[in-house]
Amino acid sequence: MPTTKPPSLIQLAPEVVEALSAFGLSESEIAVYQATLQLGTRPASVIAQKAGLKRGHTYNVLGQLAQKGIVQELVKNSVRHFTCSPPERLIGLLEHRESEISRQKDLLRQAIPKLEALRNPNHAQPRVRFYQGEAGVREIL
């Protein structure tokens, strides 16, 4: 069954959708992000209408975007409103991910000698290995 894209995604250039998908956003997150960028600070109901999504689902998506640091929530007159970080913030978030991955790599490199010391040198290595899928092909190469 073909999936229908939210109406707001149709307005975005394919390379923008591809970039946001590569960043890790789902179609719904992209639609809500775009709507929030276009509308500015608005309640979820207005964002939902612009994004072509149901209000309840939009609240969930806005929560996901807030956890990722892309959207902020504020309360005006007892109503929750949402606003977007500037698009440049996405680069900052990626740089933070890069530094976190680099830190994890360093920790793992430090742990490798200790892990190797635990390894039983008398344990026979299998002579036959099975490779499966795209990751298996990459491992062979």
**35-77 pLDDT per residue, tens:** 999 999 999 999 999 999 999 999 999 999 999 999 999 999 9
Percent of the chain with pLDDT over 70: 90
Residue 128 confidence class, pLDDT cut points 50, 70, 90: confident
Its pTM stands at 0.71
- 8 A C-beta contact, residue 42 and residue 63: no
pLDDT of residue 1: 46
Tell me, rounded to whole angstroms, the distance of Cα 133 from its chain centroid: 24
What CATH class has 7-84?
A: mainly alpha
pLDDT of residue 8: 54
Q: Give the DSSP H or E segment for 80.
A: strand 79-84
Burial class of residue 110 in the structure, from the number of CB atoms within 10 Å of its CB (0-12 exposed, 13-18 middle, 19+ buried): exposed
Backbone angles phi, psi at 91, to 5 degrees: -65, -45
